[in-house]
Structure 1
């Protein structure tokens, strides 16, 4: 039985990944700042006959990662698999995003990956474990965009950090993978922010963004979980998931110039007009996918 750590496992991709690894007879440590969500994931795993433990972790803080690694070492000797999944997605122009908002997103989406990878890579090396580290990047890592510059910057850095770590850990027999999902049916945007809006406008935007993400998403978090599990078994390097992520990945490799031109067409004004026009259809799509 291997010890598998998954951050942000109180919901979405993290929860489905935790459930899948537990069904593969692995011990899963469900790490999340949302203790109620983490416990709910554990309850679902145990109800299915699996083994899981909840652990409260604020991924923004290096000292919490160090404490977490020490606890894992004392309890289980070493982690075998680490999935750095915790993240947020805020939208807003480069200039509209304040320094504090940039810092928050970088702390959660990028620095948490660095803290976790460093702490558990050291643990795996010291224990002689031929383990695996999975970092969740994004299709946004391939594509510059006015809509999500801070998120794209952080996820592009995750992608490069993952590839650098893969080179460094190869001699130790430790695999490293970057997963780039695309648009998935999760609550990512519902928990995010649209920078530059008032509190009242923010709530209205979240509802619209959540409906758009649910309605437009090609797949659910269970698909990403399956890709993560296969990536660990096969030691894949960079893995787009949805068709749009594969398209963008291919486009940036084929023509970086074209990949910069295409997203420049979609501004916030155009995006919001499209959302307003398509709202009835998106509402129907999102309700159908939630109840399916």
Structure 2
């Protein structure tokens, strides 16, 4: 699998899954544009990719801003002259009782997680269509689009909306040679907490996920050879959404 000469934009790329995805594409020869509102971390991530032999630039971007999203896509065009792949990874969560969740908090989650996917896909598609090159978009949903814990309403709604938005835009953009897919990660450890043996053993796959697991899924969905794969929802969760759990 090679992405030599392909230009890839990754949002939320300063850390965690987004950084892992950006690094994976760079290792496979892509020219990567990292977008994030954490400017120091984002610039450091891009610099680290370059130190490892990859090609990467950082563009500050708050995905709640339409202007920032347009500037991010234009940066890819200005730096590399084309745009082939967009990974819409940026997102936020709120764990708060529905009795207490404010309208502003709800709107912030939906705007950050869902509206940004629409805007980024729209702006990228305009460039891809104008350049006449087939393109690929991968949206990051979550297994919380399928199952829930208490007090996760805004996050769950946003991730469910991403799944629906994915197949809608796949149908709309298909005639222009643009594929749109989404991934629902399960528990992916990004170094924020210490894992216990029981954390691993509750997964049918025998372990908690890593950013590279999601990165490999992105590489598969973005690969031009997989031109028959569009509108799909790929769950990458170590089998957890297929495991029945009963209280003893």
Please, what TM-score do these two structures have when normalized by structure 2? 0.85
Q: Secondary structure at the match of 2:40?
A: helix
1:137 aligns with 2:141: yes
1:228 CA drift (Å): 1.0
1:57 aligned residue (35, 52, 61)? 61
In the other structure, the counterpart of 2:164 is: 160
Regions of 4+ moved over 3 Å: 210-217
1:72 CA drift (Å): 2.7
In the other structure, the counterpart of 1:101 is: 105
Q: Can you give the 5+ residue segments of structure 1 that lack an aligned partner in the other structure?
A: 191-209, 252-261, 267-292
Aligned residues: 231
**Contact 2:35-2:72 at 8 Å conserved across structures:** no
Superposition pairs of residues 116-265 of structure 1, within 5 angstroms: 116-186=120-190, 210=193, 216=199, 218-233=208-223, 234=226, 235=229, 237-244=232-239, 246-247=241-242
What is the alpha-carbon root mean square deviation over aligned residues? 2.4
Whichever of the two has the greater Rg, that structure is 1
**Contact 1:6-1:85 at 8 Å conserved across structures:** yes
Please, what TM-score do these two structures have when normalized by structure 1? 0.73
Offset from partner CA, 1:215-239 (integer Å, 9 cap, x none): 8371111111111111212335211
1:90 aligns with 2:85: no
- Bigger fraction of residues in helix: 1
**Contact 2:139-2:162 at 8 Å conserved across structures:** yes
Q: Can you give the 5+ residue segments of structure 2 that lack an aligned partner in the other structure?
A: 201-207
Q: Secondary structure at the match of 1:243?
A: coil
Give, in whole Å, the separation in 2 of the partners of 1:127 and 1:28.
18
Superposition pairs of residues 10-89 of structure 1, within 5 angstroms: 10-89=14-93
**Contact 1:185-1:213 at 8 Å conserved across structures:** no
Give, in whole Å, the separation in 1 of the partners of 2:240 and 2:65.
30
1:244 CA drift (Å): 4.2
**Contact 2:209-2:238 at 8 Å conserved across structures:** no
